[in-house]
Amino acid sequence: MPEQVPTTCELESPTAIQVVDVVRDYPRPRTSLVRPAPVVHALRGVSFEVKQGERFGIVGESGCGKSTLLRIIAALDRATSGQVIVEGTDITHLSERRLRPLRENLQLVFQDPMSSLDPRMRVRDIIAEPLVVQGHPASGQRVRELLEAVGLSADAGDRYPHQFSGGQRQRISIARALAPRPRILIADEPVSALDVSVRAQVLNLISDLVDELDLTLVFVSHDLSVVKHVCDRVTVMHAGQIVETGYTGDVYAAPQHPYTQRLVSAIPTLQRALSGATTADLLTGPTTDELLPGAITADPLAEPPARDPLAEQPWKGEPR
């Protein structure tokens, strides 16, 4: 295992997010009068800590529980059992009224900017919305600052979301998330729905803003090569459980769990396919799933399924 020197963040920073043995079961509709209603075990006892100022990645295939976990951390959903502590406050059982002031400190960027931006609102009102909701003044100056921070011109504020490209719409989502000056930014597959040509730009923007604004970042992706570009540490999820957590470089170079080994072993194949590709090329090129459909299967030890040409669509994720 490569040697890893502890970062300043690890040695000195207080904990930003602590997730303790979180379970989330979703009941399914009853299918029989005699048998109990079936249950989806979306999270099966997940625990980890994120330090303040850290960039923490959560990686795993579709359906492993990443979005459920993020929703519980952001208090948009409740755990069946377990505890979530954000900046020292146990949010697990807080009422909506007591959660409201805490929500400013933790903002989310979602996968699909088109479905997360109200098409009837002008961009300046979209960006100001979190401030207005929290009862803060939303000055034109603040909106212009935010547009500039995400690389958009001031007149973008007068337009509507449909007048922008996918990458620009994700910049608007990021500006909106930053409006209340959060300390924690949660990004749920923020580049998966974007054209391959703009993924690296949006990732670099997130990375630069996290540095400049001294944010804690929780970054979710199904693609380990994307997480490697952005995060200091990564946790790997499979079927509602964490199978491995470590420094991203270590997990990438020497994965311990068979499932992580499968994730990583898919990446050199991708690099071979893109022969001579740079990191930037990898980020702007097809994802692992696009190149190797079915390579990351639900069972970490199972063989990849046979190729089905009809099912081989580029992975774009489902808007929620």
Ligand X SMILES: Nc1ncnc2c1ncn2[C@@H]1O[C@H](COP(=O)(O)OP(=O)(O)OP(=O)(O)O)[C@@H](O)[C@H]1O
According to CB under 6 A, which one of 63, 180, 286, 294 is a site residue for ligand X?
Answer: 63
Q: How far is the CB of 60 from ligand X (least distance, A)?
A: 6
Nearest distance, CB of residue 68 and ligand X, angstroms: 3
Query: Of 26 and 163, which has the nearer Cβ to ligand X?
Result: 26
Told to check if 26 binds ligand X by CB under 6 A, we report yes
Q: Per CB under 6 A, which of residues 190..249 are in contact with ligand X?
A: 222
Q: What is the rounded CA–CA span in Å between residue 296 and residue 259?
A: 8
> Which residues, including other chains, have CB under 8 Å from residue 106's CB and lie 6 or more apart?
73, 74, 86, 182, 183, 184, 186
Q: How far is the CB of 20 from ligand X (least distance, A)?
A: 18
Distance between CA atoms of residues 189 and 111, nearest Å: 5
Of 40 and 295, which CB lies nearer to ligand X in the complex structure? Answer: 40
- What would the x/- binding string for ligand X be over residues 29 to 48, using CB under 6 A? -----------x-x------
Query: Going edge to edge, which strands form the sheet with 55-59?
Result: 106-109, 184-188, 216-221, 55-59, 233-238, 241-247
Consecutive H or E run containing 11: helix 8-12
Closest CA to 315 of 296, 297, 288, 280: 288
Residue with tokens 């973008």: 156
| 65/113 with CB nearer ligand X | 65
d(CA 172, CA 152): 8
Please select the residue that binds ligand X; options are 46, 68, 283, 300, rule is CB under 6 A: 68
Is 187 a binding residue for ligand X by CB under 6 A? The answer is: no
φ, ψ dihedrals at 57, nearest 5°: -100, 145
Quote the least distance from Cβ 227 to ligand X, whole Å: 13
Among 53, 57, 65, 113, binds ligand X (CB under 6 A): 65
Between 178 and 226, whose beta carbon lies closer to ligand X?
Answer: 226
Give the shortest CB-59-to-ligand X separation in angstroms: 10
Q: Strand 184-188 and strand 81-86: pairing?
A: unpaired
Residue with smaller CB distance to ligand X, 27 or 304? 27
180 touches ligand X (CB under 6 A): no
Query: Which residues have CB under 8 Å from 219's CB, separation 6+?
Result: 55, 56, 57, 58, 187, 190, 206, 227, 230, 231
Residues at the site binding ligand X, with contacts judged by CB under 6 A: 26, 40, 42, 60, 62-68, 222
